[in-house]
Structure 1
Amino acid sequence: MRTFRVKQWLAALLTGASLTLASLGAQAEDPFKVGFIYVGPVGDNGWSYQHDLGRKAVEKNLGDKVKTTYIESVPEGADAERAITNLVKDGNKLIFTTSFGYMNPTAKVAKKYPDVTFMHATGYKQEKNLGTYIAKSFEGRYVAGFLAAKMTKSNTIGYIASFPIPEVIRDINAVQLALNRYNPKAKLKIVWVNTWFDPGKEADAANTLMDQGADVILQHTDSPAAMQAAERRGGVYGVGQDSDMSRFGEKAHLVSVVQNWEDYYTGVVKSVMDGTWKSGDFWGGMAEGVVTSNNFNPALSEELKAEATKIIDEIKGGYNPFTGPIKDQKGEVKVPEGSSMSIADLAKMDWYVEGVEGDIPK
């Protein structure tokens, strides 16, 4: 009898231990933590807004397997390094830093924490645990340049530029290449504002360009201020940046160069979680669905929309807007006929194509 009771007690003890271990195992499966650093507010309706939609898609697609967090409006420089380090200390195992000026801070922190994976947007420095990614926004900008070439009446196109980095220079050149091809009489005027997000500066720049005769305004800044300024002025078109900005200019909106990060971010997070991630340099464009530019102003003619759609289909099929012959401002051939610029060359572009007026700021 005593032996039977001892066996019962041991069985109960083992059962309880098993339940306890199972409970501990469930608790051990904490969600995979992913952090994001944004240069602007998530409500900028442009760059940071679109990246945050990507973050939200990660949570939606992966559910309770992940937990994401973000820090917005982080200045580029020492503040960025502190913010990235804080995300590491908070237990994030994958960190996306989403602005060019975060490159050096990201690389510095990545060296200190080799067990954390880092992804930096628009930069070029890579390590074993640091990869880079960027959108081929120049593809969408080329389409916008085509529409600007066809819709301008003044033959003056305005461009609000942020900082003189390869990405911005590339996009300016893409617009000019479209103008050269579809309306050689059109001139491109550039105003540098040295900010990614400052609605006041952006509106002032737009008004300055319109005062100088520009009737199409493109921007490489993140707020809808330029679009709103064009809408208020009347008779002027605006091109949206990163997100669909048509809601900010019902009449003014010509097209937007939209960046879509939902699928990409979900894929990267999955690859890090399952151990298949490897450092590299990702360039996503129209073919990958990262860039879209088909939200045309409804007032455009069907013929014009069809022609723009044809250009988009050509780019999806492999056409590179930076296909020669291409000359620089001095008339020197930089890309021979029949050749196209490689990703490596586009990544370090620091010169203007023929037709762009003015110098690149130092």
Structure 2
Amino acid sequence: MSDQGYPNLNPGRVNEAVNGALNSAKATATQAADAITNSQAYQTVANGPVAETASKELNATKSEFSNLAAARQTPSSKAATGQNLTHYHSMFYSLLSWENPRATAISYIVVATSIIVARYVPIDRYVLKALFTVLGITTAAELVGHVVLGEGFATKVRPRQYYTIPRETLESVLGDVEQLINFFVIEFQRILFAENVFATLTAFFAAVLSYFLVKVTPYWGLALIGVTAIYFLPLIYVSNKELIDTQLNNASSVISEQATQVRDLAAQQANQAYEATSSATSQYVNKAQEMMGSAKKTAVDKGYVSKETANAAPGVPVEKVGNTSITTPSTTSTTAPSVPAADKINTASFPTAPKTEPILAEPSSQPVIQTPAVAPAPAL
């Protein structure tokens, strides 16, 4: 009886054939790779000067990246508030100071390329396309495997245990993220509160320049300019450190001398103003006291008050009025006119007040004739 009309109920033979074909292809590929490796041309290229130079550069690059990773240590210096800095302070200082030039150059190329790629390449669409492509291939392979081989391809390559992130690794990553965030937070506050005046001044000019560039430059271009400045301004400083430090010291000395001169001039002007104010105040006070003394002397001379009462009031004493003279640029001392003795008023000039109550008379029927009141004569 022929088996052409029945499905293959024993797929083991097919699996053996497939595995044999795969092993044969693998062996053929291995033999071809060994043949290429052992060939004279490959040995000439692999052991030539170009390969040696490339190997040296590769080893130097690996060493610099190792040094950069080893620089991630908490620095001994602290912030102005006494707080410890993060280990990213040491790493970024080593990176941006070009202590490891190959690692710094490669990191700049990676960051700049990422910005350009993010601008011109629709990464999100490619990611989604790759995702549905992989899922579609996996689904098709699984279904075809079940139909042809009796076992799905995805089932065959499935790992015995799914991969999980260890707790230690997750805590380490979260700790690094926390340190990185705190690095930016601390640096922003150090710049904001002028812990380093030159850094604050540089940030000020960068903010002003960005304010005008953002009107004509797209965000990706602004980000590329910022990254380039962050990487290459320290390189310019490191390459011309002595010259730049000399100019900065000279500028600092000039600013300090100018500030000292302005401070001394301000103190001199303040002293002169204080002296002028004190002199004018003293003159006006003396003039006021002299005027009060003259008024008191006039009152005593006219008999309005006694000498003791007049001296109790503020001002120059009565007996010193004639001896005190105040000279000012616009006024001269004057003497109060003397009052004749006949014009002095004493207690005898006033009538004696009655000591008994007046007796009211009976009202009469006669009309009362009212006479106009006469104002008393003013006292001389």
Q: After TM superposition, is the score higher than 0.5?
A: no
Tell me: higher relative CO, structure 1 or 2? Use CA pairs within 8 A at least 6 residues apart: 1
Q: Structure 1-normalised TM-score?
A: 0.19
Instruction: Report the structure, 1 or 2, having the larger helix content.
Output: 2
Instruction: Report the structure, 1 or 2, having the larger strand content.
Output: 1
